[in-house]
Structures are given as structure tokens and as C-alpha cells.
């Protein structure tokens, strides 16, 4: 059983699933679904399409170079079945998957640290810009403005009646 990657989004395609397209030059394209096939036929670039693995790698969101990816390489050499070999292979696959997940987690943490540092730098730059444009008002002018505000009497608030009371008042006026 061979699990092939999609030619557009690099998602794994299991046997019996997906669409296979063979071009005139005998190049084989495998697509996980019609979405990938249609995007390929429209000549869209996977690097520019946000939901593909190629875009995530180009944007630095996923690991690009790692020695554990060597295990995914396609090999066409048949190997005679050997129980010990299979046992060590399964054990190695488990260990490599653990190593890969740890590396991906470290990569994610590092990306988040960089993002937080970038956000903090942006905030400090905005604060510095705001502080540079903000001019201090002299104390004499501030005191004069405060005195003017204290002299102006506050506006009286208009109290509105409930709607039911207004309707009753209208009804009473009509009856009179």
C-alpha cells in the first residue's frame, strides 16, 4: 500500500481515493479532490494559494528542511520480507515521528516568540510616535481652561416620561 502526496496541496492520498491525471508527456499528477484538480487546471501556483503546504512552508509556518523528511522519500526497490527488519523499521518510524513532532513544536514556539517580539516592537514604536507628536500644554493654559469649565453651569438633563404616561395624556386631551 503506497500513500501518495497530492500534486497541488501535498495532502496524503490513500489508495482508492483522489483523481489521477496523466499528461501527454507521461507525467502523473495525483489530486486529493476536485478543488486541487481545478486549481491545477487553472494554472494556480501552490505557493501562492494560502491553504497549501507549499504556501505554509514558503511563509515559514512549517519546517522546510529536516532530516526526518528523508524517511518520506519514495523508494522503488523491493525488499524481501524479514520479521526483524520490519520490527526495527516500525520502531524507527515511531521514534522518528516523535522526533519530528518535537521539532515541529519547537519551531512553533520559536515562531510565536518572534511574533510576540515583533508585536512588542511595533507597540513601542507607536507609543514613541504618539509621545513625539503629543505636545505638553503649559500649566497656565491648563489652569485657565479648568477655570472656564468650572464657570459654565452644567446643562439640565431633560427627563422623559414613560410612553404609557404620554399616551394617557394624549387620550385625556382628546376626550376634553
- Comparing CA positions, the residue from 75, 43, 50, 7 lying closest to residue 18 is 7
Q: What is the pLDDT of residue 152?
A: 55
pLDDT tens string 23-34: 999 999 999 999
66 touches 103 (CB < 8 A): yes
For residues 37 and 165, the model is more confident at: 37
What residue segments make up the domains of the chain, in order of their start? Answer: 1-62, 79-124
Over residues 84-116, the pLDDT tens digits come to: 988 998 998 899 889 888 988 888 888 888 888
pLDDT band (50, 70, 90) for residue 41: very high
Nearest to 5 by CA among 43, 32, 44: 32
Per-residue pLDDT reduced to its tens digit, 108-160:
888 888 888 888 888 888 877 777 666 666 677 777 777 766 665 556 656 66
The whole-number pLDDT of residue 159 equals 60
**Secondary element (H or E) of residue 13:** strand 12-13
CA-to-CA separations, 131 to 99, 120, 138, in angstroms, rounded: 48, 16, 16
Q: Is the pTM of this model over 0.85?
A: no
For residue 19, name the pLDDT band (cuts at 50, 70, 90): very high
Q: Quick one: average pLDDT of 52-63?
A: 83
Q: Which residues contact 71 (CB under 8 A, 6 or more apart)?
A: 93, 96
CATH number of 1-62: 2.30.170.20
Name which residue leads in pLDDT, 43 or 158.
Answer: 43
User: Would you say the C-alpha torsion 116, 117, 123, 126 has a positive or negative sign?
Assistant: negative
Amino acid at each position: 500500500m503506497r500513500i501518495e502526496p497530492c500534486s497541488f496541496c501535498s495532502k496524503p492520498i490513500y489508495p482508492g481515493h483522489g483523481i489521477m491525471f496523466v499528461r501527454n508527456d507521461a507525467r502523473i499528477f495525483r489530486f486529493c479532490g476536485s478543488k486541487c484538480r481545478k486549481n491545477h487546471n487553472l494554472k494556480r501556483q501552490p505557493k501562492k494559494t494560502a491553504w497549501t503546504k507549499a504556501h505554509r512552508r514558503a511563509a515559514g509556518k512549517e519546517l522546510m528542511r529536516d532530516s526526518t523528511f528523508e524517511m518520506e522519500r519514495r523508494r522503488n526497490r523491493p525488499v524481501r520480507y524479514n520479521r526483524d527488519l520490519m520490527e526495527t523499521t516500525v520502531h524507527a518510524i515511531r521514534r522518528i515521528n516523535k522526533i519530528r513532532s518535537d521539532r515541529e513544536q519547537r519551531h512553533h514556539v520559536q515562531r510565536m516568540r518572534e511574533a510576540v517580539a515583533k508585536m512588542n516592537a511595533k507597540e513601542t514604536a507607536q507609543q514613541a510616535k504618539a509621545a513625539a507628536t503629543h505636545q505638553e500644554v503649559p500649566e497656565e493654559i491648563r489652569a485657565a481652561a479648568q477655570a472656564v469649565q468650572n464657570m459654565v453651569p452644567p446643562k439640565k438633563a431633560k427627563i422623559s416620561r414613560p410612553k404609557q404616561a404620554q399616551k394617557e395624556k394624549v387620550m385625556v386631551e382628546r376626550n376634553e
